[in-house]
Amino acid sequence: MTKRMRDNKGFTLIELLIVVAIIGIIAAIAIPGLLRARMAGNEASAIGSLRAINSGEAAFSSSCAGGGYATTLGQLYAAPAGSTGFISPDLSVDPTIKSGYTVTLAVGSTATVVMLAAKTCNTNADAVATYFAKASPVTFSGTGSRHFGTDERGTIFQDTTNTALTAATLAIAGTINPVQ
């Protein structure tokens, strides 16, 4: 009886290693692009949050506070009787962590009281002459690579260095520029 050689069908170890190496190279190329896309999405969300705060502050100022502004996200979220708040529930707590950014609202450069809390439509807190909102990445260069800030002017500013914006730094030229 003669021994027949078996028909070996399938892949050799070398062929499998080559396929794994190719998959590894493709993954190494794709992952940084995915991380950049995620950071860009986080930054777009932060800008959107600040735009929502600016819109909410404008509505609060004109209809509720006699020209004054809210100084906390909770105050801006609080609804007047028989109505809804001025911002969405995802921004109702100060500070709020949303899409890799910490969003906060505070008194701006002037803490002058424009209207006492009891006279505002939601009786939550005093309305003041200025406000300052900022969005800072939770992890710089991880969840975002820009810090954002805005105030009663309604312009959103950005800083590309790892320095959180303040009400005072919005007026300083250099790395702080309006978002285009």
Assess contact for 127 and 111: CB atoms under 8 A.
no
Looking at 44-120, which runs of residues are DSSP E strands? 96-98, 101-107, 113-115
Q: What is the pLDDT of residue 175?
A: 64
Q: In this model, does residue 6 exceed pLDDT 70?
A: no
Q: Is the dihedral of CA 109, 158, 72, 56 positive or negative?
A: positive
CA 71 to chain centre: 18
Tell me if 54 is assigned to some domain. yes
Count the domains in the chain. Answer: 1
Q: Round to whole Å and give the CA distance between 153 and 142.
A: 30
**Could you tell me if residue 93 is inside a domain?**
yes
Q: What is the DSSP letter of 109?
A: S
**At 173, is the pLDDT very low, low, confident or very high (cuts 50, 70, 90)?**
low
* Residue 36 in domain: yes
At 109-165, the pLDDT tens digits run 888 999 999 999 888 899 999 999 999 999 999 999 999 999 999 999 999 888 888
The parent domain of residue 18 ranges over 13-178
> Closest Cα partner for 91 from 128, 54, 143, 40?
54
Domain membership flag for residue 8: no
Instruction: Give the pLDDT confidence of 94-123 residue by residue, as tens digits.
Output: 999 999 999 999 998 888 999 999 999 888
Residue 149 forms part of a structural domain? yes
Structure tokens at 139: 């992890």
Quick check: is 94 in a domain?
yes
* Strand-pair partners of 97: 102
CA 12 → CA 8, 17, 18, 25, 66, distances in Å? 10, 9, 10, 20, 79
Q: Please give the structure tokens belonging to residue 148.
A: 């954002």
